């Protein structure tokens, strides 16, 4: 593509040298050095990535289902630039207008109608949001254990609190003399519950996963369980559970007096066609909610945790010895303000629903055509597609695993991703048998049609090898 067609001024970069340095010094994710594929990205703008080799890729995965408003959204960038005129960093002991505005947008403007949310804290990553939510659950409930779903994904950062002498306990405040160490330390403090059934589970009655979860609650003892942490649509494991799961799990939490910690890092801010994923089910609300990604579309590293009115009031009365150097960083708060104001004014949730419906319709048509598509699950503007053998079994028998040996380039997800990439589309998935369709909420009708056309050919490429 010619330099004049680029949405940015072409930088003068020696990509051969960059590749050498990247290969030599960076600690890469998910690939061994021997198989590492270097793909230089020179720029990103709107719904597109621009590669070092001059290709333009439609980002149909929003990076990590994260860059929900596309790349370099003008409203977000304008707000960051304005903030940079006044701020570098200030620590959480000081207040900024951006921190207050970001908190008001989340708690009042967006969550106000549901009236459960009391306060939000702004952090640097979704993982940190999850960690904070679990500590708050333990402190509030004064119980040590967290129940967690098999196949769930909540981040990859074990241990900072476990190894610390200072671990986020509560000390007596002006209104309470209830000193409280964090229950469950030291020790893992986690108990696994089964992963939910797939969306096309055909049985009758209550889901077996919920029956087993209730059994586990009884075996372990509800008096020891602070909370259950859940994903709504599973990001790592790549599926939307059966429609009766979410409400069933919520009801178990209420029945046994266990806090519901909703990890909405991935699904929050419009992914499932609602602001937050619990809203797909009328009448249920969480006690704690971990957020990230979509809150600013990843213009800067971000996370956030929302506490219910009751939990926020409890913490308000004491002194919670918590915080990170980067909490409520002014530039991050500015990016949240720019992003959420743009999302509200541009009606992005409605747009996600409309564009998502178009996407689902097109994907269903592909399923009718391609025998390698065994299942499509999802909602809003987030779908995952399971790739199967002619018999309908997962192509790679160890379905939804991450422990494999040998060359993975022949895995169906990688064949699909390579076929898409060669045709100008960034799409694929981490699990061998699943690929994602999770474009930015800003995707256009024509771009969805283009992407589905490319996916059509990519599914044929998978069938050529496995059917």
Ligand X SMILES: Cc1ncc(COP(=O)(O)O)c(C=O)c1O
Q: What does the binding site for ligand X look like in residue numbers (CB under 6 A)?
A: 64, 125-127, 130, 153-155, 231, 235, 263, 265-266, 292, 303
User: Are residues 287 and 311 in contact, defined by beta-carbon separation less than 8 angstroms?
Assistant: yes
Looking at beta carbons only, is 327 or 447 nearer to ligand X? 327
Query: Closest CB to ligand X among 289 and 451?
Result: 289
What is the Cα–Cα distance from 43 to 337, expressed in whole angstroms?
Answer: 24
CB of 155 vs ligand X, minimal distance in Å: 4
- The DSSP secondary-structure symbol of 396 reads S
146 versus 170: smaller Cβ distance to ligand X: 146
| Smaller CB separation from ligand X, 292 or 432 | 292
CB of 54 to ligand X, least distance (A): 30
| Dihedral angle sign, alpha carbons of residues 10, 16, 21, 24 | positive
Nearer CB in complex with ligand X: 168/235: 235
Q: How many beta carbons lie within 10 A of that of residue 164, not counting itself?
A: 10
Please enumerate, as own/partner, the contacts of 349-353 that have beta carbons within 8 Å and a separation of 24 or more: 349/270, 349/273, 349/274, 349/275, 351/441, 351/442, 352/270, 352/271, 352/273, 352/380, 352/381, 352/441, 353/273, 353/380, 353/381
List the structure tokens of 452.
């589905």
Q: How far is the CB of 28 from ligand X (least distance, A)?
A: 16
CB of 8 to ligand X, least distance (A): 26
Whose Cβ is closer to ligand X: residue 231's or residue 287's?
Answer: 231
Are 320 and 84 contacting, i.e. CB atoms less than 8 angstroms apart? no
| Comparison of 125 and 209: residue with beta carbon closer to ligand X | 125
Give the list of residues 6+ apart from residue 67 with CB closer than 8 angstroms, or none. 59, 293, 297, 298, 440
Q: How far is the CB of 292 from ligand X (least distance, A)?
A: 4
> Do 298 and 335 meet the contact criterion of CB atoms below 8 Å apart?
no
Which of 303, 330 has the CB closer to ligand X? Answer: 303
β-bridge partners, 308:
117
CB nearer to ligand X: pick between 305 and 415 = 305
CB-nearer residue toward ligand X: 154 or 379: 154
CA distances from 418 to 112, 165, 243, 460 (A): 44, 48, 33, 12
User: Which residue is at the shortest CB distance from ligand X?
Assistant: 126
Tell me whether strands 48-51 and 425-426 are parallel, antiparallel or unpaired: unpaired
Closest separation in Å from C-beta 60 to ligand X = 17
Minimum distance, C-beta of residue 147 to ligand X, in the bound complex (Å): 16
How long, in residues, is the chain? 467
CB of 156 to ligand X, least distance (A): 8
Where do we find the tokens 């150097």? 325
State both tokens at 4.
């004049």
CA–CA gap between residue 70 and residue 57 (Å, rounded) = 13
Contacting residues for 7 by C-beta, under 8 A, at least 6 apart: 43, 45, 46
- Minimum CB distance to ligand X, residue 394 (Å): 22
Coil, helix or strand for 33? Answer: helix
What the block records as the tokens of 22 is 């990247």
Nearer to ligand X, 139 or 265 (CB): 265
Least distance from C-beta 303 to ligand X, angstroms?
6
Q: What is the DSSP letter of 105?
A: I
Q: How far apart are CA 338 and CA 334, in angstroms?
A: 6
Rounded Cα gap, residues 461 and 370, in angstroms: 11
Pairing assessment for the beta strands 373-379 and 382-387 based on DSSP bridges? antiparallel
CB of 75 to ligand X, least distance (A): 22
């Amino acid at each position: 593509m010619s330099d004049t067609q680029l949405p940015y001024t072409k930088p003068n970069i020696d990509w051969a040298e960059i590749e050498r340095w990247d290969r030599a010094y960076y600690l890469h994710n998910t690939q061994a050095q021997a198989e590492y594929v270097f793909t230089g990205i020179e720029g990103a703008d709107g719904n597109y990535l621009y590669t070092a080799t001059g290709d333009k890729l439609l980002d149909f995965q929003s990076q990590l289902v994260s860059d929900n408003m596309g790349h370099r959204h003008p409203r977000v960038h304008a707000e960051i630039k304005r903030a940079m005129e006044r701020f570098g960093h200030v620590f959480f002991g000081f207040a900024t207008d951006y921190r207050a505005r970001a908190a008001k947008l989340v708690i009042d403007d967006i969550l106000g109608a549901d009236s459960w949310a009391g306060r939000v804290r702004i952090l640097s990553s979704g993982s940190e949001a999850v960690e904070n939510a679990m500590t708050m659950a333990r402190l509030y409930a004064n119980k040590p254990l967290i129940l967690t779903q098999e196949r769930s994904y909540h981040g990859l950062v074990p241990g900072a609190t476990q190894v610390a002498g200072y671990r986020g306990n509560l000390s007596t405040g002006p209104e309470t003399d209830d000193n409280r160490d964090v229950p469950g330390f030291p020790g893992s403090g986690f108990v696994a519950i089964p992963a939910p059934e797939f969306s096309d589970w055909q049985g009758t009655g209550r889901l077996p996963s919920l029956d087993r979860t209730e059994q586990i609650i009884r075996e372990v003892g509800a008096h020891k369980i602070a909370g259950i942490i859940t994903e709504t649509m599973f990001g790592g494991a790549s599926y939307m559970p059966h429609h009766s799961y979410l409400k069933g799990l919520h009801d178990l939490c209420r029945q046994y007096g266990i806090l519901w910690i909703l990890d909405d890092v991935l699904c929050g801010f419009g992914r499932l066609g609602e602001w937050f994923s619990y809203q797909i089910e009328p009448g249920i609300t969480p006690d704690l909610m971990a957020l990230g990604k979509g809150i600013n579309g990843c213009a800067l590293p971000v996370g956030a945790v929302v506490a219910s009115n009751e939990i926020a009031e409890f913490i308000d009365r004491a002194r919670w010895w918590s915080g990170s150097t980067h909490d409520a960083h002014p530039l991050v708060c500015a990016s949240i303000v720019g992003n959420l104001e743009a999302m509200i004014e541009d009606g992005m949730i409605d747009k996600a629903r409309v564009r998502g419906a178009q996407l689902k319709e097109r994907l269903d048509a592909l399923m009718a055509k391609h025998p390698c598509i065994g299942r499509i699950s999802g909602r809003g503007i987030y779908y995952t597609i399971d790739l199967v053998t002619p018999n309908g079994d997962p192509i790679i028998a160890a379905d939804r695993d991450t422990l494999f040996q040998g060359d993975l380039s022949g895995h169906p997800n990688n064949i699909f991703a390579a076929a898409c990439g060669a045709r100008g589309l960034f799409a694929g998935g981490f699990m061998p048998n699943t690929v994602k369709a999770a474009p930015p909420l800003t995707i256009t009708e024509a771009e969805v049609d283009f992407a589905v056309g490319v996916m059509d050919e990519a599914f044929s490429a998978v069938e050529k090898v496995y059917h």
